[in-house]
Amino acid sequence: MQAINASIGFDYRLWREDIQGSLAHASMLASQGIISQSDEAAISAGLTEIGDAIAAGTFTFDPALEDIHTNIEAWLVGRIGEAGRRLHTARSRNDQVATDFKLWVRNAIDATDIQLRDLMRALADRAAEHAGAIMPGFTHLQTAQPVTFGHHLLAYVEMLARDRSRLADCRHRLNQSPLGAAALAGTTFPIDRSMTAQALGFDRPTANSLDSVSDRDFAIEFLSALSIMAMHLSRFAEEIIIWVSAPYRFIRLSDAFTTGSSIMPQKRNPDAAELARAKTGRIFGALVSLLTVMKGLPLAYAKDMQEDKEAVFNAADAAELSIAAMTGMVRDMQADEVRMRDAAGADYATATDLADYLVRDLGLPFRTAHHVTGRLVAAAEARGIDLADLPLAVMQEAEPRITQAVFATLSIEASVAARSAYGGTAPANVAREAAQWQESLR
Ligand code: ARG
């Protein structure tokens, strides 16, 4: 029974929040005249003492006492006696654990937000540095149109900004205090729930006691936001892995973020990126795990809900490591602008620019222009040359009105520079966007 029942092995991580919640509860009980001022003083001193002991690592948790709440309370009673026995007045472990866990998740959201901001700043810095560095843009991982490396990096800044805003939404919805809902029905004592809510930094108390003790939406929403964020990090990690591979070599990572092989001396493996990609599995797993735990539970509390914590801790730990690793790699990576540029010019990447020229300068309908361009790409392919190296006479066989002016549109520089409509990859746009992000993330 103890092996399956005890949660202290993982919920010890709630010790700070548990003490914080108990301090607020005791002070409210005293101010409402439910316990005496001297009992409250003894409780506060005791809780502060145990907090110091846990922080110093000198406290031993007892698995026979099931969880962090009982461990702390039992120690308090052993230390201060009778007064300690009064702490649990008008409270249950059900509202206590919901409160502690909300506080923990709220702290995790705040810490994640700081980390994400850091990663965004690193990306914006590198984007500013490489605002004009031309690389191939892909669809289907096939060369599509030239873009700039800075533009590519800023795409992730946009994703991470949405991730932060999802976390902020989650924090906002989470921020109501369950403390005082007691076991499930509320309490007969004249407590002041607004007072404890305020002391703990909540916006207000929760309105329904049954909901208060059985709600784990906040944890599920946190895991959802983390999952979407992890999906973004995983895509970026995948790109880093592609970019450092021998056929690409768009970037290089230093020894700080790569490992060697035990047999192949030339290897420089992107393990940090691979692990960030892999840790996504834990985060998605945690989300599905907690959704599954909750989906069949009748109101109000059931012990199933104790399984919420490991999932959240595990996901938060994985997210913390992954964001840190990605931030480190973004700061560390060396972009090879020459390799990127060479690849950007290959594979007829400016074919769309040619079609746009036929529309803009010669007045062809776009579908016709698309067809003419297709013929020219085939002609270049048959000769094994780039579009820009096709003789004008050959171009004119496909469309007689083409003039020398066409060649100006076929360079990759012209291609990116021309994409200056809002949101496009033109280096001037990218430099401006990067500077704005740098400014707002300062
Ligand atoms: N360890 C429990 C948990 O994490 C605390 C709440 C226990 N409540 C109860 N009625 N058994 O969920």
Give the pLDDT band (50/70/90) at residue 133. very high
Rounded to the nearest whole angstrom, what is the distance from the C-alpha of residue 7 to the centroid of ligand 1?
9
The pLDDT score that the predictor gives to residue 16 is 98
Name the closest-CA residue to atom 11, ligand 1: 303
Q: What is the DSSP string of 75-105?
A: HHHHHHTHHHHTTTTT--HHHHHHHHHHHHH
Residue 151 annotated as catalytic: no
pLDDT digits (tens, 9 = 90+) for 182-204: 999 999 999 999 999 999 999 99
User: Counting Cβ atoms within 10 Å, is residue 241 exposed (0-12), middle (13-18) or buried (19+)?
Assistant: middle
Q: What is the DSSP string of 224-260?
A: HHHHHHHHHHHHHHHHHHHHHSTTT--EE--GGG-B-
The amino acid that residue 151 corresponds to is H
Q: Is the Cβ atom of 93 under 6 angstroms away from ligand 1?
A: yes
3-state secondary structure of 37: helix
Identify which of 25, 27, 23 has the alpha carbon closest to the alpha carbon of residue 36: 27
Percent of the chain with pLDDT over 90: 96
Name the closest-CA residue to atom 1, ligand 1: 67
pLDDT digits (tens, 9 = 90+) for 308-361: 999 999 999 999 999 999 999 999 999 999 999 999 988 898 999 999 999 999
pLDDT digits (tens, 9 = 90+) for 61-119: 999 999 999 999 999 999 999 999 999 999 999 999 999 999 999 999 999 999 999 99
Residue 261 annotated as catalytic: yes
The more confidently predicted of residues 343 and 267 is 343
Residue with tokens 């946190």: 222
Rounded to the nearest whole angstrom, what is the distance from the C-alpha of residue 311 to the centroid of ligand 1?
16
pLDDT digits (tens, 9 = 90+) for 3-20: 999 999 999 999 999 999
Token reading at 45 = 């001193």
Angle between helices 427-440 and 93-129 (to 10 degrees): 140
Task: Please tell me the pTM assigned to this model.
Answer: 0.94
Mutational test site, ligand 1, from 303, 305, 312, 313, max ligand atoms within 8 Å of CB: 303
Rounded to the nearest whole angstrom, what is the distance from the C-alpha of residue 113 to the centroid of ligand 1?
29
Whether 177 contacts 158, CB under 8 Å: no
The pLDDT score that the predictor gives to residue 347 is 84
**Active site residue: 36, 254, 261, 440, which one?**
261
Percent of the chain with pLDDT over 70: 100
Report in angstroms the alpha-carbon separations of 251 from 234, 254, 256. 17, 10, 14
Report in angstroms the alpha-carbon separations of 25 from 40, 102, 196, 197. 10, 15, 6, 10
pLDDT digits (tens, 9 = 90+) for 232-266: 999 999 999 999 999 999 999 999 999 988 888 88
Mutational test site, ligand 1, from 67, 88, 215, max ligand atoms within 8 Å of CB: 67
Q: Is the Cβ atom of 67 under 6 angstroms away from ligand 1?
A: yes
332: left (phi over 0), alpha (psi -120 to 50) or beta: alpha
**List of residues 6+ apart from 338 with CB closer than 8 A:** none
Phi/psi of residue 431, nearest 5 degrees: -60, -40
| pLDDT of residue 267 exceeding 90 | no
The pLDDT score that the predictor gives to residue 263 is 84
Name the closest-CA residue to atom 12, ligand 1: 306
Compute the mean pLDDT over every residue in the chain, rounded to the nearest whole number. Answer: 96
For the chain, state the CA radius of gyration.
30
The more confidently predicted of residues 22 and 267 is 22
pLDDT digits (tens, 9 = 90+) for 41-50: 999 999 999 9
- Of ligand 1's atoms, which has the minimum distance to the CA of residue 309? 4
Q: What's the rounded mean pLDDT across residues 152-164?
A: 98
